[in-house]
């Protein structure tokens, strides 16, 4: 991770135009004006900063990159066992999961790549507020890719799957690439009905371990 990006973040260039000069940055980072000039040109070329005559602003791309970096550090400090535990509450879906899982285009791939014939229904979990940041760490893991397909007129998109466990039972987190609900909901599938297996009702707390 580029030190200069981090410096700019600390200076708040992610929220407002940072009014500064290459010499000032050089001073505060123990570097030379020339080096800062060159590095800013590189960052600009990579579309990580935008420059106007009187200031510098981090782009969305840069902020996202920094955030991913920050979250992985956070995970290292706050969850040093390297096991990702997602806590949340059971939530009713709209039965769409059942529909998608019944499509052979998805089902056959799940059997082949994940290793079980899924129960026709998903368990939706709403992550607890304090756990939400962990959701973004999923994208750092290597997904099992369930390819999309066409069925007549409808197009079904790719799904990402991540193997997980709930109380020792194998299951998988399913993330549609074009997700229809917010980042706070995750969707799980398993061989049998997780809801019945653990006799959970809406609002009950549950922990998923990856």
Residue reference for tokens 């750092």 = 140
**Which residue among 7, 11, 33, 184 contacts DNA (CB under 7 A)?**
33
CB of 28 to DNA, least distance (A): 13
Instruction: Give strand ranges (E) for the chain.
Output: 49-52, 55-58, 85-91, 123-127, 144-146, 149-151, 154-156, 159-166, 169-176, 185-190, 205-209
- In the bound state with DNA, the residue whose beta carbon lies nearer, of 3 and 205, is 3
Q: How far is CA 199 from CA 69, 89, 123, 168, 193, in A?
A: 38, 13, 12, 15, 9
**DSSP label of 14:** T
CB-based contact 158:151 (threshold 8 Å): no
Could you tell which of DNA, a second copy, none binds residue 166, using a CB distance below 5 to 8 A set by kind? Answer: none
For a second copy, give the closer residue by CB, 30 or 168.
Answer: 30
Residue 64-103 contact track with a second copy, rule CB under 8 A, x = bound: --xx-xx-xxxxxx--xxx---------------------
Nearer to DNA, 33 or 109 (CB): 33
Minimum CB–partner distance for residue 72 and DNA (Å) = 21
Q: What is the Cα–Cα distance from 83 to 68, expressed in whole angstroms?
A: 18
Among 40, 159, 189, 206, binds DNA (CB under 7 A): 40
Binding site for a second copy (CB under 8 A): 1, 3, 6, 9-10, 12, 14-15, 66-67, 69-70, 72-77, 80-82
């Amino acid at each position: 991770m580029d030190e200069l990006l981090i410096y700019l973040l600390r200076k708040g260039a992610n929220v407002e135009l940072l009014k500064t000069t290459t010499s000032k940055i050089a001073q505060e980072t123990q570097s030379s004006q020339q080096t800062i000039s060159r590095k800013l040109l590189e960052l600009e070329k990579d579309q990580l900063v935008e420059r106007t005559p009187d200031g510098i602003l981090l782009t969305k791309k840069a902020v996202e990159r920094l955030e991913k970096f920050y979250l992985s550090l956070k995970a290292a400090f706050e969850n040093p066992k390297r096991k990702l535990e997602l806590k949340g509450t059971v939530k009713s879906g709209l039965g769409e999961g059942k529909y998608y899982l019944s499509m052979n285009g998805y089902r056959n791939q799940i059997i082949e790549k994940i290793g079980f014939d899924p129960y026709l229904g998903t368990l939706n979990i709403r992550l607890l507020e304090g756990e939400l940041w962990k959701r973004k760490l999923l994208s750092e893991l290597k997904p099992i890719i369930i390819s999309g397909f066409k069925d007549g007129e409808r197009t079904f998109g790719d799904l990402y799957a991540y193997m997980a466990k709930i109380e020792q039972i194998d299951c998988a987190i399913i993330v549609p690439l074009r997700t229809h609900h917010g980042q706070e909901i995750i969707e799980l599938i398993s061989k049998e009905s997780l809801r019945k297996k653990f006799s959970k009702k809406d609002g009950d707390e549950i922990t998923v371990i990856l």
